[in-house]
Structure 1
Amino acid sequence: MGEFYTFLAGYWWLAFPLFGVLASVGGAWERNARRRHKRRLEVLQAKASLKAASRAAITPPEGTPAEQAASEKSTHEGTIAGQLERLFAEHDEVSARWLDYELDVSKVIAFPAMSDGRQPLTAAFLRAKRVADGLRPASTKARVTKEQLADYRSAVTDFEVAFDVAERDARRIKDSNFTELERKRLATAKQLLGVAIDQAATPAERQLAYRRVREELDGLLSLSDDAIDGLEKKVALELPSGLGEARPEA
């Protein structure tokens, strides 16, 4: 026993760091306890919220059975109408992007693959367009089943993806599928197109340029009637007052 007291007398200073260690351990334990308590509270709150949501989901709406059925039908139709509205907007957006290539002669010249149904990716896009157009309901108020809505949604997605793929490929290859002579003709047509709609050029120069554009593209690119009509209107709009009524010669 005397040896123990002798040890304490010689090493009494060890008590201070020991107290510090014990205090640190105690503080860490207290912090961990607070964190565990906070986590338990969060779990309990989440469970309470889930239980409340479950009760709300199974609680029948107030009113007579007829009123309840009418309310459910109205909610369902509103949801369908909202989805159709969004799908119509997506469908129309892709169609507008396609028409931008189809009706703009300058873009037809710059990216001819977008108007060439012989190109595999362009053909795939046009097929996807036909499917989406065919599955499109008449209006947002049309009565459609969930299966019909799902089919139309899938068709719109395929339509958008197919267009994006075809567009990227057309912008990549540009006129590389044409021979050197054909590329020169396309370049000439592009220059003449600028003259045809240039207000600084004379009416005779513009009409001549328009005819030359048609000649250079003949046999190379197939322009839609709407694209030709749009180009002719652009040429006519550039003519001075009194000369704009003359339609460019085809």
Structure 2
Amino acid sequence: MDPVFLELWQDYWWLIFPLGAGVIGISSGIGKAWERNAKRRHRQRLEILQAKSAIKAASRPAVAPAASDATESHASQLAKLFATHDAVTARWLDYELDVAKLIAFPAMSDGRQPLTAAFLRAQRIADGLRPASPKARLTAEQLSEYRNAVVDYEVAFDVAERDARRLKDSSFTEAERKRLDTAKQLLSIAIDQAATPAERQVAYRRVREELDGLIALSDDAIEVLETQVALELAPGSGSASGSGPEKTDAATPASSTPAPSTPAPTTAAPSAAPPSTTPPPAPNADPWPVPARKAPAPGIRRDPAS
């Protein structure tokens, strides 16, 4: 061995450690670079495979769905849209036909309110685009147009309802609000089953008078209100009219009993018209049967012969 090399080795033997560390670092960097390149090549292969599969799928002829499945899906979509459409209409009719709600939230029937007017426009559009039945044949554009109209209809109602509940009667003057309060109180009497028919009719007329010029009631709302105001006389009239004559006969002496000729139409001719509509021709006899509120005062006696 060369003595010069031995001398250098003896003096610089320690250089093997930094040189070894450098060689190790270089080899490690080369290995990491090769690993990164391998991962990148693998990712590129996967992307190429995915692109090829997408191209093959696009090149295949599209298989049309069965006609029955398309029709069933079309009908189910229309059925859901019809249900949503009818639900919004029912919520609106709760305000339109209920006079109490119209008094509490008058903006729902006021077309001058911007949100209410927008709702009414959306309602007209949705009603105009509604098919005759869920089995109607519509194109994809027509179905999409009707779907958008129903969505607009529902959203417009929600916005108008929230605004009406916020406003209440704030758009009226103090005098008009007093009239609304009076109409609300009279309405509770008009639909009260415990009130007499006369009281209910008077309250009903007063309600119409108080609301005149403030809230426009539709014909359907008036019809519903009149149905609520009208008494069901079929079950109650018999007991009321039966108890009246019994009390009158008990309180009236025997000499004040009407002549036997008065009830003759019912005993002699059962098929004749009711006594209340065809009274006896006698000028001095009272109509039969005599209602309890028409009975003579306790201190007055009538002579049947006169």
1:190-205 aligned at under 5 Å gives the runs: 190-205=184-199
Q: Distance in 2 between matches of 1:185 and 1:232?
A: 20
Contact kept? 2:88, 2:157, Cα under 8 Å: yes
Contact 1:186-1:216 within 8 A present in 2 as well: yes
Distance in 2 separating the partners of 1:205 and 1:138: 46
Over residues 168-211 of structure 1, what are the superposed CA-to-partner deviations in whole Å (9 max), with x where a residue is unaligned?
Answer: 00000000000000000000000000000111111111110000
SS of 2:230's partner is: helix
What residue number does 2:200 align with? 206
Task: Tell me, yes or no, if the aligned pair for 2:106 and 2:168 is still in contact at 8 Å.
Answer: yes
Structure 2 residue 116 is the aligned partner of structure 1 residue 117: no
2:128 to 111, 124, 134: 134
> Which residues in structure 2 correspond to 1:75-224 (within 5 Å)?
75-224=69-218
State whether residues 198 and 238 of structure 1, in contact with CA within 8 Å, keep that contact through their aligned partners in structure 2.
Answer: no
Gaps spanning 5+ residues in structure 2: where? 1-52, 239-306
Amino acid at match of 2:104: A
Superposed displacement of residue 219, structure 1: 0.7
CA RMSD of aligned residues (A): 2.2
Distance 2:172 2:154 in 1: 27
Tell me the distance in 2 between the aligned counterparts of 1:168 and 1:110: 13
1:183 to 1:129, Cα distance in 2 relative to 1, 3 A? same
Instruction: Label 1:144 to 1:237 Cα distance change in 2 as closer, same or farther (>3 A).
Output: farther
Change (3 A) 1:182 1:60: closer
> 2: CA distance between counterparts of 1:161 and 1:60?
38
Relative CO higher for 1 or 2, CA cutoff 8 Å, sep ≥ 6? Answer: 1
Alpha-carbon separation, structure 2, partners of 1:171 and 1:136: 29
Aligned to 2:230, which of 217, 231, 236?
236
1:160 CA drift (Å):
0.2
Greater gyration radius: 2
Q: Distance in 1 between matches of 2:231 and 2:131?
A: 38
Shift of 1:241: 3.2
List 4+ stretches of structure 1 deviating above 2 A.
Answer: 58-61, 237-243
Which protein has the bigger helix share? 1
1:27-53 superposed Cα distances (whole Å, 9 cap, x missing partner):
xxxxxxxxxxxxxxxxxxxxxxxx9xx
State the Cα distance separating 1:131 from its structure 2 match: 0.5
Residue type of the alignment partner of 2:189? V
Q: Distance in 2 between matches of 1:233 and 1:125?
A: 29
Q: Give 1:241's aligned amino acid.
A: G
Displacement of 1:242: 3.6
